[in-house]
Structure 1
Amino acid sequence: MKVVIVGAGIGGLGAGVALNRAGHDVEIYEASSFLNEVGAAIHVAPNFSRVLKSWDCDLDTLSPVHCDAVRAYSADLKPFPTFITYKKGVEKFGYTDPWLMTHRVDLHNALRLLAEKGFQGRSVKIHLNSKVESVNAETGEVHLMDGRTVKGDLVVGADGTHSRTVQAIISTGREKITTGQKAYRFLIPTEKAEKNPKVKKLLDTIGLNGLSAIGSLHQRIIIYPCRSGTLLNCALITQATEADDLAGQGSSWLNPGSVDSLMACVEGYDEGVQELCRMAEDLKLWSLMTRNPPPTFIKGKLALIGDAAHPMLPHQGQGGAQAIEDAAALGALFAADTAPEEVSELLKIYNEVRYAHAASISVFSRVAIERREEVLAEVQKFVPQATIKDNSHYDLWNSYPAREVERLLALRRGEKVA
């Protein structure tokens, strides 16, 4: 089949890799030139790394740091009980796939390398500076801003939170939703940070083998290493004030932030945290705005994946993972001998496997994990059967959408499934 993918972010490249490996001709249309790839660090939880391994991705190319735990501290650095550890995941739930922390750019580069390398002599074609204007889900036509039209037997919308492809499924109800939160994001070289005695004391206390969350339910700074431990990823998530023009800022990662404003947020914090924030360079201010997931991820020949389908905010640490799970599901669903006329019917299985799971996480991601009860009713508007599970992170790690797709395909063929 001919597959057209809109967007070459993590989800789009992942879908390109998965569908190329499944035996299809894949072309990706990306609006940017890739010259200014942006972002900070990202979690690669076991449900994420499991898929990358299945694609023969060399995880060392991610320059990762292995994550042992998520640790929480008060603003003055008193430790709270550690509730998520890799050791528990291994011993109690039997996970064998690694839990990694990496730079988003390193991950993106690794996926692009996989796509361009291709599989069995067939590579993914990536068209840059190719902004999409609209998609016709029924015909599989993708209309570009420069006047070109391309057509696919399957179209994958992977164009992020500000998606144009989602308009082919839902023309209204795509309004931005503000969560009343903002995030300051910055990276600091570890070597530079450790030259400051107060910051060195902070890092010695929290360690550099996991994620540390320092603060309270309503404001916390997240610190963890990436790029083989040479960079510290820092993000302070806090409540917005009346002076913040959240709607005017939009939800871009590129908005500049003020160090003075950041420092005002950490007044009263441990002095090491304050010194770390004072070092912030190239500080970005991200308004935590989102939109609701559409009522379905599919229509005709179109499947939405990643933030185009289910916009994610950072609280669950699952944005990249869910996009990659979407990609893996599509790769498992469309075998090399799939006929074009089967696409629309097969996409119903994709929606069955992915909608409830990803839409739930999307809405839950608007608040810290300890505050999930506050948004459960909102989640249930989209997934009525949604509940809050005691071991939610470990449960997420157990997700294996390709296996679920294979089970449903077997049932469709009339085979008995255990």
Structure 2
Amino acid sequence: MPFRIVIVGGGIAGFTAAIALRGPDRIITVLEQSRLNKEIGALISLQPNASRIVESIWGLKEELHGDARAIVDEGFRIYNTDGRLVNTVPLLSKKEYGGDRLCFHRRDLHDTLKKAAVSPDREGDPVVVRTASKVVECDPSKGTVTLESGEIVTGDLIIGADGIHSAMRKHVLDAEPSALPTGHSAYRLMIPCEVLEKEEPEFCSKINPRDPFTSMMVAHNCRLVMGPGRNGEVYGIVALVPDEQMNEDPNAKQSWVAEGELSKMLATFSEYPSWVTSIFKHSQDLGLWQLRDLDPLEKWHNDRLILIGDAAHAMLPTQGQGASQAIEDAEALGSFFENITDSPSSENISKIFEEIFQARYSRVSLIQAYSRQAAKPATATDDNKKVTMKADEFMDYNCMYRGAKLWKQQQEVSSTA
């Protein structure tokens, strides 16, 4: 019997899981509730721990730098509100990471991963992608999911890759946790670089939008995180705002694709200099979403169902690790299931799922905690959960990762030392 795998969710977590699990005698189906035709104007980064997996393990380096138009981020630049560069943290000097920090337009990365999943040129049969296929129910013991249409889809393995508002999570946990408001919301903007160069010369004289760096500005409890995408064609901005300083209703802005209002954003950033805020009006669209995350879950799997990505461990974007941790999850699935060729028993699947959970849980939970801590003001204290590593130490912790099996071995050695 072929090994049937059903992936609920056609985002980055879902398609990377499909890529990692492709192989002989495997039938992989991705069920996506949308029609995959919504343009999302935002940049996304893959940290070295994830880009190494995609480029070296899955062999997609050419695709990332071609179809996905990746920019290699050379480091972080910190500016004050006068436009003076106050600090630079280089990234390219860390060759021991085995990969670069890559920045993409989110749609370009998503389309490239989908193309690789369905390509006939990779090992195993192409992945079947079914859009407009909303899953409303799951039976983990039978390995079935029920679509909104009433159709039942069966798999030996069910992967819940359906995001922070996962419909699969309730089938794993006795009590389903809610995504937690974190006190911050984020605007997202995307501006053509040629528009900035033509219309905003003062901004460009201080911060070159085509330079391959992530630029940051922190003032008045708000922060701007900015950088180029699409080989320098566009400039992406994420503006993090405490909810109490925001002029919009945060409770109405929970969706990734919710729209923000320019006048209200300008009011929130009224204390920023005009050479910065004047660029906001050029955005092709203005999105706003309330940042939420999850406390670590007590388990990720139940019988034939496992959660990955934001469904299992949603985190704040302050470390840029959300997509990268989903890719690490996908690598773990591919690694631990690589020698399974026939339709596996429920007992065998549960055993492998627990190995994956043990290999991933402590690492992901710590990155979740550090991402949450990094969003707070420097004066904030939470001694019970505080991560004590310094920023450069945590960068190494994030980026030196070499796959789930090696990580599990290292943890077992350290626990017995």
Name the TM-score, length of structure 2 as normaliser. Answer: 0.88
Q: Out of 290-299 and 341-350, give the one that drifted further.
A: 290-299
Cα deviation 1:367-417 (Å, max 9, x = unaligned) = 53675895765758xxxxx65355112220111224427849x99xxxxxx
Aligned-partner residue type, residue 248 of structure 1? A
Q: Out of 113-122 and 342-351, give the one that drifted further.
A: 113-122
Match of 1:149 in 2: 152
Q: Work out the CA distance in 2 between the residues paired with 1:405 and 1:394.
A: 14
Cα deviation 1:57-112 (Å, max 9, x = unaligned) = 12222101110101212222233333x3213322xxx2331221111111101100
Any idea what SS the aligned residue of 1:102 has? strand
Match of 2:4 in 1: 2
Residues 154 and 371 of structure 1: is their aligned pair in 2 closer, same or farther, counting only changes over 3 Å? farther
Match of 2:105 in 1: 103
Residues 343 and 373 of structure 1: is their aligned pair in 2 closer, same or farther, counting only changes over 3 Å? farther
Any idea what SS the aligned residue of 2:279 has? helix
Match of 1:331 in 2: 334
Cα deviation 1:266-287 (Å, max 9, x = unaligned) = 3343433122123234211111
Match of 2:203 in 1: 199
Residues 1:135 and 2:141 aligned together: no
Residues 1:81 and 2:87 aligned together: yes
Residues 1:225 and 2:228 aligned together: yes
Q: Work out the CA distance in 1 between the residues paired with 2:241 and 2:76.
A: 19
After TM superposition, list the pairs within 5 Å mapping 1:159-178 onto structure 2.
Answer: 159-178=162-181
Match of 1:32 in 2: 34
Residues 378 and 12 of structure 1: is their aligned pair in 2 closer, same or farther, counting only changes over 3 Å? farther
Residues 1:12 and 2:27 aligned together: no
Match of 1:366 in 2: 372
Any idea what SS the aligned residue of 1:112 has? helix
Aligned-partner residue type, residue 331 of structure 1? G
Q: Work out the CA distance in 1 between the residues paired with 2:302 and 2:129.
A: 24
Any idea what SS the aligned residue of 2:365 has? helix
Contact preservation (8 Å) 1:19, 1:330: yes
Residues 232 and 375 of structure 1: is their aligned pair in 2 closer, same or farther, counting only changes over 3 Å? farther
Any idea what SS the aligned residue of 2:85 has? coil
Q: Percent sequence identity over matched residues?
A: 30
Q: Work out the CA distance in 2 between the residues paired with 1:373 and 1:43.
A: 28
Residues 1:311 and 2:317 aligned together: no
Q: Work out the CA distance in 1 between the residues paired with 2:388 and 2:220.
A: 21
Residues 9 and 364 of structure 1: is their aligned pair in 2 closer, same or farther, counting only changes over 3 Å? same
Any idea what SS the aligned residue of 1:174 has? coil
Aligned-partner residue type, residue 357 of structure 2? N
Residues 375 and 300 of structure 1: is their aligned pair in 2 closer, same or farther, counting only changes over 3 Å? farther
Contact preservation (8 Å) 2:23, 2:124: no
Q: Work out the CA distance in 2 between the residues paired with 1:23 and 1:376.
A: 50
Aligned-partner residue type, residue 15 of structure 1? A
Q: Work out the CA distance in 2 between the residues paired with 1:238 and 1:367.
A: 15
Q: Work out the CA distance in 2 between the residues paired with 1:217 and 1:353.
A: 40
RMSD: 2.7
Contact preservation (8 Å) 1:66, 1:100: yes
Q: Work out the CA distance in 2 between the residues paired with 1:351 and 1:217.
A: 40
Contact preservation (8 Å) 1:22, 1:336: no
Match of 1:276 in 2: 279
Any idea what SS the aligned residue of 2:258 has? coil
Deviation (angstroms), 1:127: 1.1
Q: Out of 105-114 and 239-248, give the one that drifted further.
A: 239-248
Residues 376 and 51 of structure 1: is their aligned pair in 2 closer, same or farther, counting only changes over 3 Å? farther
Cα deviation 1:243-295 (Å, max 9, x = unaligned) = 6432233x212222121222223334343312212323421111113333321
Match of 1:414 in 2: none
> How many residues end up aligned between the 2 structures?
402
Q: Out of 11-20 and 54-63, give the one that drifted further.
A: 54-63
Cα deviation 1:284-326 (Å, max 9, x = unaligned) = 1111133333211122111111100011221110111000110
Contact preservation (8 Å) 1:22, 1:331: no
Contact preservation (8 Å) 2:359, 2:408: no
Q: Work out the CA distance in 1 between the residues paired with 2:353 and 2:380.
A: 33
Q: Out of 353-362 and 223-232, give the one that drifted further.
A: 353-362
Name the TM-score, length of structure 1 as normaliser. Answer: 0.88
